[in-house]
Amino acid sequence: ASDLPAITPYTNNVAYIEPGEIASINPVSASFYSIDGKSISKKFVITPRNQIDSGKGRYRHYMLKEINQQPESIMQTLSGRVSFNDLTIDLPELSNFNADKINRVVLIGMGTSLHAAMVARHWIESFAKITTEIDNSSEFRYRDPLVDDKTLIVSICQSGETADTLAAMELARNKGAQQITLCNYENTQSTRIADYSMQIKAGPEIAVAASKTFTCSLALLYLLAIELGIKLNRLTPKEIQNKISELSKLPDMMGQILYDSNQYNELAKNLSHYHNFLFLGRGINHPIAMEGALKLKEISYIHAEGYPAGEMKHGPISLIDENMPVVAIAPNSDLYEKMESNINECKARGAPILSVVTEGNDTISNISDHCIYLPQSSHELSPILTSLPLQLLSYHIAVTRGCDVDQPRNLAKSVTVE
């Protein structure tokens, strides 16, 4: 199997095969060989119970179950790393990491993981005041990137087995970069390449489209950004406490959003017949617009694009009419008035408008056909909250269209080939 969840229903004894190794399996045993045919020994490890799928339970689909697990999953991610009593963080995985000579951070990933990296860039630049770049793993690996021993590579790879990300990590290792990887499972290839690994701890995610691994990756990247800010002496004790205090409110706010889910059935009925969608966001929520569009594409087979709202006038506006619903991600922020202006431009061209806004908002709600309201939160953490309505929207549209939500056509959970 290329991914741990594929075999955990049948066994919890697992051996990890390195590149260039061969396994020969019969009904009673398994043998291992190098590529030149020499016998090698392998140690089997016991898979932890929290990495074994427990079924759909009361849910119709794994994806709906995993969407609703997110408040609990976030707590698992934070457990053992954050003290909400003392408002401190402790990342034992990075206890030996020395950030003193790092002058640049490069975040790499593919698909949803790349969107998580795009959000994390905002946090790392803000908290650690260090140059931060993002790169698609498949692009990074095929050029000669300027990477050296002063570069920190942060890879996000929920499976730990994505071929392009592994190749990018190997390239960075050969150039001497320090590496931290975020992965949902232990003992994967990415954890064996990186110098330091941080387990996402979202629990098994069976549906192909990522939901809880995305938000849990964001939570862990938020902690990593704080840790870098601490190690580089960029954050004051008060700033650290404020950020952790805001983080403590997150699971309850996520629960509120997921509890109020009745509106999505009606939205799906009204929107499922459209063939094109445009998702717009600004700043730290621009990546969430891209993630929302990706979710809709993946599971409902509807063409969708995610754009920074400021880019709309540079091309996408020519497509906007009554047949192009616009999903606007517009929580309260310094960029709120600019989002309002963009929404007005879409409305003037006849587009149906669905806006994701902070509760108490009046102005955007007056120009939207429907609003999904979020609890008041810090703007820094808003991407974790704004992603939830877009997951639910995509799920219900896909169900309404009769799509296979858990196993969309042509997609795989772990992309282990190029």
What is the percent of the chain with per-residue pLDDT over 70, rounded to a whole number? 94
Q: What is the pLDDT of residues 86-121, one digit of tens each?
A: 999 999 999 999 999 999 999 999 999 999 999 999
* Position 286 pLDDT exceeds 80: yes
For residue 365, the one-letter residue type is: S
Q: What is the pLDDT of residues 257-274, one digit of tens each?
A: 999 888 999 999 999 999
How does residue 32 score in pLDDT terms, banded at 50, 70 and 90?
A: confident
pLDDT of residue 48: 63
* Position 19 pLDDT exceeds 80: no
What kind and span of H or E run contains 105? strand 104-109
pLDDT of residue 50: 56
Query: CATH number for the domain including 207?
Result: 3.40.50.10490
pLDDT of residue 382: 97
What is the distance between the alpha carbons of residues 414 and 47, in angstroms, rounded to a whole number? 18
Q: Are residues 212 and 299 in the same domain?
A: no
Q: Are residues 81 and 226 in the same domain?
A: yes
Inside any domain, residue 407: no
* Position 2 pLDDT exceeds 80: no
Report the half-sphere exposure of 216 (CA within 13 A, side-chain side): 32
pLDDT of residue 283: 96
Q: Considering 248, 267, 288, which residue would you say is the last residue of a domain?
A: 248
Q: Are residues 89 and 159 in the same domain?
A: yes
What is the distance between the alpha carbons of residues 68 and 221, in angstroms, rounded to a whole number? 21
Give the mean model confidence (pLDDT) for residues 192-215.
96
Token pair belonging to 201: 């701890």
Give the mean model confidence (pLDDT) for residues 20-24.
83
Average pLDDT, the chain: 92
Q: Are residues 242 and 318 in the same domain?
A: no
What is the distance between the alpha carbons of residues 199 and 50, in angstroms, rounded to a whole number? 12
Inside any domain, residue 40: yes
Question: Cα dist. 88→120, 299, 321, 382 in Å?
Answer: 20, 39, 50, 21
Inside any domain, residue 57: no
Token pair belonging to 243: 């950020």
pLDDT of residue 395: 98
Give the total number of structural domains in the chain.
3
* Position 51 pLDDT exceeds 60: no
Q: What is the pLDDT of residues 380-391, one digit of tens each?
A: 999 999 999 999
Q: Are residues 307 and 218 in the same domain?
A: no
pLDDT of residue 187: 87
Token pair belonging to 180: 């931290």
- Strands 178-183 and 151-156 come out as parallel
Q: What is the pLDDT of residues 317-341, one digit of tens each?
A: 999 999 999 999 999 999 989 999 9
What kind and span of H or E run contains 20? none
N residues, the chain: 418
Inside any domain, residue 406: no
Q: What residues contact residue 343 under an 8 Å CB cut-off, 6+ apart?
A: 280, 326, 328, 330, 353, 355, 364, 367, 368
What is the distance between the alpha carbons of residues 229 and 213, in angstroms, rounded to a whole number? 24
Give the mean model confidence (pLDDT) for residues 8-17.
73
Q: Are residues 206 and 353 in the same domain?
A: no
pLDDT of residue 8: 67
What is the distance between the alpha carbons of residues 213 and 202, in angstroms, rounded to a whole number? 6
pLDDT of residue 385: 98
Report the half-sphere exposure of 77 (CA within 13 A, side-chain side): 31
pLDDT of residue 53: 66
What is the distance between the alpha carbons of residues 113 and 157, in angstroms, rounded to a whole number? 6
Inside any domain, residue 155: yes
Question: 293: phi > 0 → left, psi -120 to 50 → alpha, else beta; which?
Answer: alpha
Place of tokens 């995509």: 394
User: Which domain range does residue 285 map to?
Assistant: 255-400
Q: Are residues 79 and 224 in the same domain?
A: yes
Q: Considering 248, 272, 297, which residue would you say is the last residue of a domain?
A: 248
Give the mean model confidence (pLDDT) for residues 23-51.
76
* Residue 326: closest CA among 295, 358, 299, 350: 350
* Residue 334: closest CA among 129, 130, 126, 106: 126
Give the mean model confidence (pLDDT) for residues 138-151.
96
* Position 368 pLDDT exceeds 80: yes
Q: Are residues 26 and 84 in the same domain?
A: no
Q: Considering 218, 248, 278, which residue would you say is the last residue of a domain?
A: 248
Q: Are residues 72 and 193 in the same domain?
A: yes
Inside any domain, residue 47: yes
| Proportion of the chain in helix, strand, coil states, percent, rounded to 5 | 45, 20, 40
What is the distance between the alpha carbons of residues 352 and 327, in angstroms, rounded to a whole number? 9
* Position 409 pLDDT exceeds 80: yes
What is the distance between the alpha carbons of residues 359 and 372, in angstroms, rounded to a whole number? 9
Q: Is the pTM of this model over 0.75?
A: yes
pLDDT of residue 28: 74
* Residue 82: closest CA among 241, 253, 256: 241
More confident residue, 183 or 52: 183
pLDDT of residue 9: 67
Q: Are the C-beta atoms of residues 94 and 198 closer than 8 Å to each other? A: yes
Q: Are residues 215 and 159 in the same domain?
A: yes
Inside any domain, residue 396: yes
Q: Are residues 67 and 145 in the same domain?
A: yes
What is the distance between the alpha carbons of residues 119 and 356, in angstroms, rounded to a whole number? 18
Inside any domain, residue 417: no
Report the half-sphere exposure of 196 (CA within 13 A, side-chain side): 18
Q: Are residues 369 and 231 in the same domain?
A: no
